[in-house]
């Protein structure tokens, strides 16, 4: 798990490096690069992560119903 995380962080860093050269006066704030476009990326990520969490909740409820359905069918 830690290895995967490190790989992700490293690849994110490597993709970000060329943009670092384009960085304006941002005081080392990655989000402030290229006209603060990464703030928009972050906002979209929050949006879709929340929707994915919602989908996971739906899936878990469905799974519980499926298990209950199996139990009901067995009883009959």
Partner 1 sequence: MNNILKVIGAILVLYSIAAGMLVPLNTGVYQVEQLKVKAGQEARIDVEAYNSDYTDATAIQSRIRLDSNVAICAERVVVNDAQSLTLFFDIPTGKLPLAKAKDGEKMPFPLLEIEDKGKGIAVLESAVYIEQVVGAAPAADDFCEVVAYTPNPNISYPYLNILQETIRNLYYHVPMWFGMLLILFTSVIYSILQLRKPEQIQYDIRANSLAVVGLMYGLIGIATGALWAKHTWGAYWSFDVKQNTTAVALLIYLAYFVLRSSFDDTDKRARISAIYNIFAFATLIPLLYVVPRMVDSLHPGATGNPGFNTYDLDSTMRAIFYPAVIGWILMGFWFADILTRIEKIKYKQLDQL
Residues that bind partner 1 (CB under 8 A): 24-25, 29, 31-32, 34-37, 39-40, 42-44, 46-47, 50-51, 54, 58, 61-62, 65, 68-69, 72
State which residue, 20 or 42, has the beta carbon closest to partner 1.
Answer: 42
Closest CA to 42 of 30, 52, 54: 30
- Residue-wise DSSP of 12-24: HHHHHHHHHHH--
Segment holding 48, helix H or strand E: helix 33-75
State which residue, 7 or 69, has the beta carbon closest to partner 1.
Answer: 69
Q: How far is the CB of 38 from partner 1 (least distance, A)?
A: 9
């Amino acid at each position: 798990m830690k290895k995967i995380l490190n790989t992700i962080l490293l690849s994110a860093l490597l993709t970000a490096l060329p943009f670092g050269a384009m960085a304006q006066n941002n005081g080392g704030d990655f989000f402030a690069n290229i006209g603060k476009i990464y703030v928009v990326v972050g906002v979209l990520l929050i949006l879709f992560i929340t929707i994915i969490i919602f989908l996971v909740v739906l899936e878990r409820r469905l799974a519980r119903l499926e298990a209950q359905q199996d139990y009901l069918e067995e009883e009959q």
